Amino acid sequence: MKNLRAIIVVVTLLPVFGCDAIEELLEEEFEESITFDGELEIVERSAVASIDDAIDVQTEAAVYRINSDPDIASLIEDGNAEITKVKINEIRYTYNDFEGNEEAVVVQASFGIFSDTMAAMNSPLENGVAIADADQRNIQFTHRDDFSSIEEALLDSPSGSIFFQYFGKISRNPVDFKVAIRVDVTVTIKAQL
């Protein structure tokens, strides 16, 4: 049905605009902004001997499939369009549901970001954050980086899958918290006739 509409539009506009103008119109790229949310829970902690010891934590990985996003899927279904570029604009994150030693501070943290084509990057985050205070005051952090290696890999991925995981070294223990993320992405799509 979509192809029939496209043919009718072309036949209708051909006498008015000419072949070159219609071809240019049909080959134009457009951008679609999408966001996805996740909540990363701690699944692994290093062993410690004292509450004054630093502890390493690692969360589960959240996965998002760009090609399965309802807005994107509706545009690329039936092969009428293709994704030509993926741009990760920013990652906003908060620390939530903190329990444990309220003196705990982030010594070092990063997001591990992976694609299903095995591209990976480690993206350092803000250090020196008092986690209990950040949770209580609902402080939102905005993270930007050069995500180009992951963005390029997503174009080669059949599913457009991207994984996010949090790794941190925390100054005191015990600690338990979640990292809520919101990832803003711009997808460039080229229509095909």
Domain 29-191: which CATH class? mainly beta
pTM: 0.84
- The predicted-structure confidence for 122-140, as pLDDT tens digits, reads as follows 999 999 999 999 999 999 9
- The predicted-structure confidence for 57-99, as pLDDT tens digits, reads as follows 999 999 999 999 999 999 888 788 999 999 999 999 999 999 9
3-state secondary structure the chain: CHHHHHHHHHHHHHHHHCHHHHHHHHCCEEEEEEEEEEEEEEEEECCCCCCCCCEEEEECCEEEEHHHCHHHHHHHHHHCEEEEEEEEEEEEEEEEEEEECCCCEEEEEEEEEEECCCCEEEEECCCCCEHHHHHHCCCCEEECCCCHHHHHHHHHCCCCEEEEEEEEEECCCCEEEEEEEEEEEEEEEEECC
**Spans of all domains in the chain:** 29-191
